[in-house]
Amino acid sequence: MSSLQAVHNIPEICAQLGITDVVLSPGSRCAPLTIAFARHPAITVRTVPDERVAAFIGLGLAQAQRRAVALVCTSGTAGLNYAPAVAEAYFQQIPLVVFTADRPPEWIDQLDGQTIRQADLYGAHAKGTFTFPADTTHPDAHWHAGRIVSEAIGLAEQFPAGPVQVNVPLREPFYPKAGEQLQFQPVKVTRELPGRPQLPAAALQELREAVQTTGRVLVVAGQHPASAELLLAVRQFAAAYQVPVVGDLIANLHLPAAPNFDQRLRPLGRQDVFMAVPEPGLKAALKPELLITFGQSLISKALKLYLRTAKPTQHWHVQPAGAVADTFQSLTKVVRMEPTDFFAALLAEAPRSTTNSIGVSESSDLSSIHSATTTSTPYVTTPNHTAAPDATRVAAAPAPTGPVRLVWPGSGAHLSEAAASAKAAYLKPWLAAENWAEGFLQKFMQQPNQPFNEFTAIYRALQLLPDHTALHLANSMAVRYANILGLPAGRTAEVFANRGTSGIDGCTSTAIGAALAQPDRPVVLLTGDVAFFYDRNAFWHNYPTPNLRVILLNNHAGGIFRLIDGPRQQPELEEFFETRQPLTAENTARDFHLHYHTARTFTELESALPVFFAPESGASLLEITTDSPTNAEFFEQYRAAVKSSFA
């Protein structure tokens, strides 16, 4: 048996446990791993020279495929370059199995080349670390080596998923002799069988009664992959208990729950708009008594700050396992269930009306729902409220609203009249604020004679986004703009963003990983210039991505710093915060064979977008060039209009 047989068995173990994709970066010390993976018939191997890029491409592959991806690199600082993607995977709960080739243990700290202390390289940002045996000639060591790989893959995929490191010390010779065939022997693997935790019936009944009897119940969703089961369960729960459900764009609650789903019952997503309204009466009306959360991080700073101030009496977070963050400083209960199972379980004992496939009662008064969700009049504090004329107003002044009794499917069957009335009274301002925000945005973004600016440019691009797109949002202003604007109703784009650590360092690479994982699906990246040029090596590989579209907002600066009160008021703004740069992406597009489009006016943008999004256009880059001070001035007009148009 070859001294490297245990190493050559690693791809076979990976394949048997469902890993089909490996991203590796060339090197000498990792040669045995490289050759073994490259020659395995069930593994797709992609070579990416830049390890930082390679790791983010692997993250994008795993994110899109929803299964573990392996990374392979050589010894020394190569593994350190994986660290940003490893941290992102850890906080975003994405499974990566990281194989770092290493010197044998006796040569660590002996001034040998490409040698650092690689054991536990990622520390607290990996779920675990394993050290492969340096010598595997003894049968026990051979068994130990195989067991380690099985355990590592199982740990990576076990909820909450995340990255694990397998450090592999290797001695020369690294390469098989000419003509030598690698043998992939039968291997023993240990499989993890996933389970879904359930609460005892008595505990579920206690939760159910609390939801039924509490008037002000609010559901807030953090970042979450799209799930048809979850969408339907959340919507049915919200309908049955008259509960507002709020989620950022990356929560993927905007997707239709079923082909015939009534969009009037969709969750709310305009909180970045109406939470900026300086109306004490509105804020008081929105305060929950019971907050139910699931998912990961929130983009909306306004919502986070509001919930930290308007603390609920109870806050339940629904998550089957793992550490839970007390984001709003009010956590009182951790519910160890899958969110889908939780919302379904709270409905299980409730009497049902006859429902269609979307949980809407056939005899329900949908006109009353429609009146609350399509009217242009938001919540107001007094019945005699009138607004003073304001030159900055872009939406109609709010008029008083009378009592609205919402009839939701099943509400009369399992809620008392008092409870139903209390819930309707709490739901009303949420629906009205959401509706006002939608009307406001539409009017503001379509006002004539605007200067060319990136905020409106994004709005127009999102209106034409192809259905079934995987929309990747780079960090900084791109993800914030998109979260404010949202997607047109009924659009079936799934939204991704690296909000685990919220760094700019791998946004393009992650999108490219997604494009490689799903070649038949449109993948659109919305990014700013700093994130784009920082991650330009993302295109340095030899794999076609005809489904990739990159929308680059180039204002030749880090424009976000003009929008933050601290840095924008400092004399050092332009040189030390904005990181001004004169680059354009035309050379990058030419170097990496991307079709290049540019827009400096709304006319050019309207002309470019249909061609850019056309399926036959191939891998393309649209560079939208704007002026940073103009962008900041227009966004300030938006923020001022939000306040004056509501008050």
DSSP secondary structure, 80-135, as one string: GGGHHHHHHHHHHT--EEEEEEE--GGGTTTT-TT----TTTTGGGSSEEEE--S-
Question: What pLDDT score was predicted for residue 432?
Answer: 92
Whole-number Å distance between alpha carbons of 259 and 639? 36
Helix (H, G, I), strand (E, B) or coil at 596: strand
Residue 413 is which amino acid? A
* Ranges of residues in the chain whose predicted pLDDT is under 70: 1, 257-265, 349-414, 558-569, 571-578, 647
Tell which residue, 242, 226, 235, has the closest CA to residue 290.
242
Question: What pLDDT score was predicted for residue 366?
Answer: 25
- Write down the residue that tokens 């309707």 correspond to: 424
Residue 437 is which amino acid? A
Question: What pLDDT score was predicted for residue 400?
Answer: 35
Within 10 angstroms of residue 160's Cβ, the number of other Cβ atoms is 17
Question: What pLDDT score was predicted for residue 139?
Answer: 87
What is the chain's alpha carbon radius of gyration, rounded to the nearest angstrom? 27
Name 496's bridge partners: 472
Angle among Cα 369, 374, 377 to the nearest 5 degrees reads 110
Question: What pLDDT score was predicted for residue 574?
Answer: 63
Q: Give the Å distances, CA to CA, from 322 to 9, 93, 267, 449, 555.
A: 31, 10, 27, 52, 41
Main-chain dihedrals φ then ψ at residue 45, nearest 5 degrees: -110, 130
Whole-number Å distance between alpha carbons of 225 and 230? 10
Tokens at 283, concatenated = 């804020």
Residue 640 is which amino acid? A
Contact 379, 282 (CB under 8 A): yes
DSSP 578: S
- Write down the residue that tokens 């946004």 correspond to: 507
Listed in sequence order, the residues at least 6 apart from 23 whose beta carbon sits closer than 8 Å to its beta carbon are: 45, 46, 47, 48, 54, 55, 57, 58, 61, 69, 70, 71, 72, 513
Tell which residue, 61, 45, 108, 51, has the closest CA to residue 83.
51
Question: What pLDDT score was predicted for residue 562?
Answer: 60
Whole-number Å distance between alpha carbons of 103 and 334? 44
Whole-number Å distance between alpha carbons of 325 and 509? 28
Question: What pLDDT score was predicted for residue 350?
Answer: 53
The beta strand positions in 193-266, using DSSP E, are 217-221, 245-247
